[in-house]
Amino acid sequence: MKSINLGNSGLKASAVALGCMRIAELDTSELEQLIDASLEAGIDFFDHADIYGGGRCEERFGEYLHTHPDVRDRILIQSKCGIRPGFFDFSLPHILHSVDQSLTRLQTDHLDVLLLHRPDTLMEPEEVAEAFTRLHQSGKVRYFGVSNQNPSQMALLQKYVPFKLIVDQLQFGPAHTPLVDSGLNVNIKSPLGTMYDGGVLEYCRLNEITIQTWSPFLFGFFEGVFLTSERYAGLTQTLGRIGERYQLSPGAAAVAWVARHPAKIQTIIGSTKPQRVRENTRGADVELTREEWYEIYRAAGNRLP
């Protein structure tokens, strides 16, 4: 699988990453098969969060690393912090505590990347800067980024944080396209012209911040998987037809659609099925034509101006 640069950090990572939000439900054999299949498919980047499975997902991954000690040096591990029951928390004590807990659960001495999960409107950027500095100096975190943040939020944070933010994790996929809609409908009086994110796609490209897309197969905000939804039957059919040209499944064609964007977006897939991981990762190495990309975009119900 091809690799992409993570920001300007010098880190190279697989164009497709495995999201580990649901691995707590797997037994030991199933977990081993999933991670082994991911590694065989070329995935070397694994995405976690302290809240996934109430911490159990990190624990399960740590159990795998404990029994496969040769794997840690071959992969990159990312985790996220900041979501707590009923509120968000970017305070210094919570960030430091969360990372220590994640490292314990993952049975590793460092995270390659730490992301702040969802924006905390009570954030004190000086506190975050202090937390990041302590974590970096202690060797516990190598690089930092954010998730679900707009340009102004990142610019505010970057003013104080002495480390370049390298990632912004955002929802994006063929059935969830606000990231590109407003840019395609500039100065158009249309719902698609409404800018919900402050132009984050262009901001990230200008500032060498890698966009990671979460839940690329969902529509809406956790409303469902579009591949099995009658509402998006036309989109699935189009992905299937275009995918056949490249011997890709509809899911893999959706990965190819994300990968085709010149922003060099990293796709995070959350499947727990080894065969599906093998199938979907193949999409990252296929470059759709410009016509095919727009055909898929329109098949989701989007109209071009």
Cβ-proximal residues to 145 (8 Å cutoff; 6+ apart), any chain? 7, 113, 114, 115, 116, 165, 166, 167, 168, 169, 209, 210
Strands 218-219 and 224-225: antiparallel
- C-alpha 197/C-alpha 235 separation (Å) is 24
Q: Give the total residue count for the chain.
A: 305
Catalytic residue among 52, 64, 203, 232: 52
Do residues 203 and 146 lie in contact, with contact meaning Cβ atoms separated by under 8 Å?
Answer: no
Is the C-alpha dihedral spanning 107, 268, 248, 235 positive or negative? positive
- C-alpha 9/C-alpha 148 separation (Å) is 20
Identify whether 160 is a catalytic site residue. Answer: no
Instruction: List the beta bridge partners of residue 128.
Output: none
Q: List C-alpha distances in Å: 125 to 19, 97, 120, 121, 122.
A: 28, 17, 10, 11, 9
Q: List C-alpha distances in Å: 29 to 33, 34, 48.
A: 6, 9, 20
Do residues 43 and 19 lie in contact, with contact meaning Cβ atoms separated by under 8 Å?
Answer: no
Do residues 231 and 299 lie in contact, with contact meaning Cβ atoms separated by under 8 Å?
Answer: no
Helices within 107-249 (DSSP H only): 125-137, 151-160, 178-184, 200-206, 233-245
- C-alpha 92/C-alpha 128 separation (Å) is 6
- C-alpha 58/C-alpha 44 separation (Å) is 16
| Catalytically annotated residues | 52
